[in-house]
Chains A and B, each alone.
Chain A
Amino acid sequence: MSILSQVDLSLALTPKEYEEQLIRHQVALSQLAYQVYVQKRPVVIVFEGWDAAGKGGVIKRLTERLDPRGYVVYPIAAPAGEDKTHHYLYRFWRRLPERGQIAIFDRSWYGRVMVERIEGFCSEAEWKRAYREINQFERQLADFGTIIFKFWMHISKDEQLRRFQERQNTPYKAWKLTAEDWRNREKWDQYELAVEEMLLKTSTVTAPWTIVEGNDKSWARVKVLKTVVDTLSRELDYQPDILMPKAEKPQKKKAARTGTQGEVAAKRKKTSQASPDADH
């Protein structure tokens, strides 16, 4: 059974759910990004996925409320100049974030085992050994304390066609669609095979893949944000204040009367005091 065939692409959010959860997680993320800076941890976020799967849109939602001094987005196209005359990882070595910085890669070193494999830009021996090289590379990042995210943005072949056609017919989106996208689409099955192998061989404990059900853009965006927020708060041992769902708010008033709830409230107060930006 393949991994991708088990992805539930029917997952979706209502506009109301989307709006509420998006903002909640964006605010949480901005607090966590400050903790990344304070605690001096490097963060690497990798986006891979089908053409028109929504990478750009997710990255936009991810960075919308972040301090621009704390992150860099790298769109990765074909290598040029010095990147071309070195090992294929050189392109990424020189873009690694320093401690306390977030680097977001729109496509990444995984190009080696996908586009380079399928288009024959590297030999079979080269892409086959890349799995091991990539795992070693990511282990070195993790050993250094880097928090690593890898997202595979997944959509169905039909959904891709729908989006291509929409792009074609919408003047302000037409630039996003090129002849190359149509050519890649013809190789969908080959890519699918490569993606399966990539997910299988490079999902490690230190750097696991997160598969994002992308047919519904709202669901996809919130899932990415939620994954980043959850993992960062665990890694940084920091609970953002804003995370309490709205539904719990009415209970909050009652909480003062009951013992156990009171403890939770007290604890919440404590964590908020512990955060440097919540002082005073």
Chain B
Amino acid sequence: MLEKIDLTKKLKKKEWKALRPALQQQLYDLERAGFEAGMPTIILFEGWDAAGKGTTINMLTQRLDPRGFRVWPIRAARTYEQNRPWLWRFWLKLPNRGEIAIFDRSWYGRVLVERVERLTPEQEWQKAYRDIVDFEQMLAEDGHVLVKFWLHISKEEQRRRFRRLEKDPLLAWHVAPEDWEHHRKYDEYLLAAEEMLERTETEWAPWTIVEATDQEYTQWKVMQTIVDALGRGLRARGVDTDALSAEAMAAKAAEKRSANGQG
């Protein structure tokens, strides 16, 4: 499946620069509207090491109101987390109504790294597909908006990025020995990723596969997907998303002022 992805997709830097401010403003407006509507939102990122998850999240949150979102970097479960059912550590990180939770890696680690690195026995990670589908269905029915990204790059692109990072003293810390280990197991991870995408694709929590070779294209696609998803979620709650723009708000305020003036 993933071999059919067109990894040559690009967006010119200049074009992205022109598009970005408007999208960031839209996202800010949607964040505020989501807060007022009490709509919980979950945005999660999965993808290859060095595929650009961190950079994308950084761009995403730059213009947002920091009171309205929270970023959760997900690593291996700590001891106290291992003493509870495996989804427990994610249950506790779910957003309040009106807030956005951004997951840098997520519960999908169960069927990716834990599977490939044999950290979890097969019968356990096999059960996880059903647990995940149930979990996401429950959240969607409860009014959560779910946006799931798989950032995809080729094995060659990953190697190229690791080499480039290692050469730069300021960026070398990004590449750990285990990253190279994972790189050597690219094909095994590919298999796990494909099975994950197939078995957890649902109407209420669909995957967006991002062709992530080009950074500008990646950021544009992620941003546009989130803006679309939040807009849909809000409209489903009866919010008029056309009235969210700064211009519309200003017009409304002016109208109110003049009405007050007359009265």
Do A143 and B83 touch (CB < 8 A)? no
The residue from A90, A98, A129 contacting B83, defined by CB atoms under 8 A apart: A98
- Stretch of A79-87, A185-193, A254-262 with 4 or more beta carbons under 8 angstroms from chain B: A79-87
- Docked complex: B187-231 residues within 8 A CB-CB of A: none
Q: Which residues in A have their C-beta under 8 angstroms from that of B180?
A: none
Q: Which residues in A have their C-beta under 8 angstroms from that of B138?
A: 87, 89, 133, 136
A87–B94 Cα distance when bound, in Å, is 9
A-B contact count (CB 8 A): 46
Interface assignment of A121: CB less than 8 Å from any CB of chain B: no
> Which label, helix, strand, loop or mixed, suits the secondary structure of the A interface?
loop
Q: Which residues in A have their C-beta under 8 angstroms from that of B87?
A: 140
Do B94 and A96 touch (CB < 8 A)? no
Interface 1/0 per residue, A66-104 and B, CB below 8 Å: 000000000000000010011101100110101110000
Do B84 and A86 touch (CB < 8 A)? no
Interface assignment of A182: CB less than 8 Å from any CB of chain B: no
Do B85 and A141 touch (CB < 8 A)? yes
Question: Which B-chain residue is minimally distant from A96 (CB atoms)?
Answer: B84
A141–B88 Cα distance when bound, in Å, is 10
A87–B134 Cα distance when bound, in Å, is 14
- Docked complex: B121-142 residues within 8 A CB-CB of A: 127, 131, 134, 138-139, 141-142
A271–B58 Cα distance when bound, in Å, is 61
The residue from B84, B86, B98, B139 contacting A87, defined by CB atoms under 8 A apart: B139
Known contacts A86-B97, A94-B92; decide if A140 and B84 are in contact (CB<8 Å).
Answer: no
Do A90 and B84 touch (CB < 8 A)? no
- Docked complex: A86-129 residues within 8 A CB-CB of B: 86-87, 89-90, 93-94, 96, 98-100, 129
Do B84 and A98 touch (CB < 8 A)? yes
Do B92 and A93 touch (CB < 8 A)? yes
- Docked complex: B145-162 residues within 8 A CB-CB of A: none
Interface assignment of B173: CB less than 8 Å from any CB of chain A: no
If A140-B87, A141-B85, A146-B85 are given as contacts, then 5 extra A-B residue pairs at C-beta distance below 8 Å, sorted by A number, are: A82-B96, A86-B96, A86-B97, A93-B88, A143-B85
Q: Which A residues contact B (CB, under 8 angstroms)?
A: 42, 82, 85-87, 89-90, 93-94, 96, 98-100, 129, 133, 136, 140-141, 143-144, 146
> Could you list 5 A-B pairs, sorted by A, with CB under 8 Å?
A86-B96, A87-B139, A93-B91, A133-B138, A136-B138
Q: Which B residues contact A (CB, under 8 angstroms)?
A: 80, 83-88, 91-92, 94, 96-98, 127, 131, 134, 138-139, 141-142
